[in-house]
Amino acid sequence: MVKVEICVGSHCSLVGALNILETLEELQEEYPDQLKIERVECMDRCGDIKNAPVVKVDDDLITSAQTQMVISKVMERIK
């Protein structure tokens, strides 16, 4: 089971976190038993806006996250 924490706080939402979330949710429909998504209000990394959006894949913290990067990290762990 891969656990993804995604920050949906205001800073991260402003710079695309919700797009990442949407794609993750689609992936979860394909792998319902292997992917757990948790929304977090703020991961305290957005003091510097360049760090947003922030996503954690298991223990791997990703700053300035982009959809493709997050999805490939998740897929590496699912397969």
Polymer length of the chain? 79
User: Of residues 42, 61, 69, 71, which one binds ligand FES by CB under 6 A?
Assistant: 42
Single residue of 4, 45, 55, 70 touching ligand FES by CB under 6 A = 45
| Interface stretch with ligand FES, choices 21-29, 37-45, 67-75 (CB under 6 A) | 37-45
Residue choice 20, 52, 65, 70 for contact with ligand FES (CB under 6 A): 52
- Write down the least CB distance from residue 7 to ligand FES, Å: 3
| Calpha distance 75→6 (Å, rounded) | 16
Token pair of 54 as six digits: 């922030």
How far apart, in whole angstroms, are the C-alpha atoms of residue 12 and residue 64?
A: 9
Beta bridge partners of residue 2, listed in sequence order:
35
Place of tokens 């979860």: 28
Instruction: Tell me which residues touch ligand FES (CB under 6 A).
Output: 7, 9-12, 42-43, 45-46, 52, 54
